[in-house]
């Protein structure tokens, strides 16, 4: 029996500073969405037809408060131009979402977008008074239109050693590390809904490879405990198969790059339904943020004398 794709009727629009922000795709636009594809006639299957998220809007969409800052609509110098948004005094975590658009990988199939991840990363930064790094509005829009890799954009979670030195994502993390007093980097990713799997996988492979087993085990245990307490309805796996650390190929993940810069880095793999729940329930997302601000302390003495 054919199963409906998870993104069916999953578009989730917010009003933010007089622009409309689709939490699923990261697309920002000034006009209210009509639920149609670029041709202006065909309805998007991702556009809800009824309920509180229906488009065209039956009632005004939820409004995000002024702490939120959507990606700039200004024309970028290049699609590689990233959106870096910091809240507060930079004592809190840095969140990234490198897989929110279609990306190319050497010798592999193109990497499909992981819906909701850019919005989740940006919102977690707001709720933790931290920083977020995401693709800019132009790249998000172009990816949504083409549904394929474009402009030579490559996966920043699959870097060669040469690419790592010049990659814009690593550069953004390097600049934030020099300005920040917190060591925690959270890389937000998505996975499929699979029976028997947890809603949230905690990957500490990069931390283990760089800082050692003791620090990695402390981080995984602390995250598991704090996330389970904050999100009791969702299963959390502290020992998943994917750990955010390439071992069988000569590549570097973003968390591996981050640990080289001095971060304590973790890769969170979130199921599709969990991501959609987070994007549509800001109280749930804020609870997750609270858990992430308290978790790094048990491992900090194992990696550095500098406090998080």
Q: What is the pLDDT of residue 297?
A: 54
CA 295 to chain centre: 18
Please give the backbone phi and psi of residue 190, each rounded to the nearest 5 degrees, phi first. Answer: -125, 155
Q: What is the pLDDT of residue 180?
A: 78
pLDDT band at 305 (very low <50, low <70, confident <90, very high): very low
Q: What is the pLDDT of residue 307?
A: 37
Percentage of the chain exceeding pLDDT 90: 72
Q: What is the pLDDT of residue 136?
A: 93
Instruction: For residues 107 and 88, give the distance between their C-alpha atoms in angstroms, rounded to a whole number.
Output: 41
The residue among 91 and 60 whose pLDDT is bigger is 60
Q: What is the pLDDT of residue 249?
A: 77
205: closest CA among 240, 246, 243?
A: 243
* pLDDT, tens only, 220-273: 999 999 999 999 999 999 998 877 787 777 789 999 999 999 999 999 999 999
Q: What is the pLDDT of residue 293?
A: 87
- Calculate the alpha carbon distances from 102 to 21, 164, 249, 282 in Å: 19, 20, 21, 26
* pLDDT, tens only, 119-133: 999 999 999 999 999
* pLDDT, tens only, 27-38: 999 999 999 998
Is pLDDT above 80 for 300? no
Instruction: For residues 32 and 54, give the distance between their C-alpha atoms in angstroms, rounded to a whole number.
Output: 12
Instruction: For residues 253 and 268, give the distance between their C-alpha atoms in angstroms, rounded to a whole number.
Output: 13
Q: What is the pLDDT of residue 75?
A: 73
Average pLDDT, the chain: 90
User: Among 3.40.630.100, 3.30.420.40, 3.40.50.720, 3.30.1370.100, what is the CATH number of 69-302?
Assistant: 3.40.630.100
Pick the range with the lowest mean pLDDT from 61-70, 166-175, 211-220, 290-299: 290-299
Q: If DSSP codes are grouped into helix, strand and coil, which group holds residue 269?
A: strand
pLDDT band at 176 (very low <50, low <70, confident <90, very high): very high
Q: What is the pLDDT of residue 308?
A: 36
* pLDDT, tens only, 186-205: 999 999 999 999 999 999 99
Question: If you average pLDDT over residues 209-228, what whole number do you get?
Answer: 92
Percentage of the chain exceeding pLDDT 70: 94
The residue with tokens 């339904």 is 273
DSSP per residue, 149-186 = --TT-B-TTSB-HHHHHH-HHHHHHHHHHHH-S--EEE
Instruction: For residues 76 and 233, give the distance between their C-alpha atoms in angstroms, rounded to a whole number.
Output: 41
123: closest CA among 278, 277, 2?
A: 278
Q: Where are the alpha helices (DSSP H) in 129-270?
A: 137-146, 161-166, 168-179, 205-211, 213-230, 254-260
């Amino acid at each position: 029996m054919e199963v409906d794709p998870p993104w069916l009727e999953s578009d989730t629009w917010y009003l933010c500073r007089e622009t409309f922000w689709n939490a699923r795709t990261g697309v920002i636009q000034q006009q209210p969405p009509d639920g149609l594809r670029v041709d202006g006639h065909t309805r998007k299957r991702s556009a809800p037809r009824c309920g509180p998220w229906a488009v065209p809007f039956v009632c005004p969409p939820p409004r995000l408060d002024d702490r939120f800052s959507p990606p700039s609509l200004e024309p970028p110098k290049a699609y590689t131009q990233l959106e870096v948004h910091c809240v507060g005094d930079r004592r809190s975590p840095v969140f990234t979402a490198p897989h929110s658009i279609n990306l190319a990988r050497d010798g592999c199939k193109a990497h499909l977008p992981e819906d909701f991840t850019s919005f989740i990363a940006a919102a977690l930064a707001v709720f933790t008074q931290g920083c977020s790094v995401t693709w800019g509005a132009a790249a998000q829009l172009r990816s949504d239109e083409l549904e394929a890799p474009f402009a030579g954009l490559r996966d920043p979670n699959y870097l060669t050693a040469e690419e790592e030195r010049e990659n814009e994502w690593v550069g953004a993390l390097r600049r934030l590390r020099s300005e920040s007093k917190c060591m925690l980097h959270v890389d937000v990713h998505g996975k499929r809904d699979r029976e028997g799997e947890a809603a949230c996988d905690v990957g500490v492979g990069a931390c283990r490879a760089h800082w050692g087993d003791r620090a990695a085990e402390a981080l995984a245990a602390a995250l598991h405990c704090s996330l389970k307490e904050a999100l009791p309805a969702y299963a959390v796996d502290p020992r998943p198969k994917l750990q955010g650390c390439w071992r069988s190929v000569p590549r570097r993940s973003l968390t591996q790059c981050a640990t080289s810069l001095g971060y304590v880095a973790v890769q969170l793999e979130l199921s599709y339904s969990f991501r959609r729940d987070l994007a549509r329930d800001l109280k749930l997302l804020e609870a997750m943020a609270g858990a992430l601000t308290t978790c790094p302390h048990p491992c900090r003495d194992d990696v550095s004398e500098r406090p998080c």
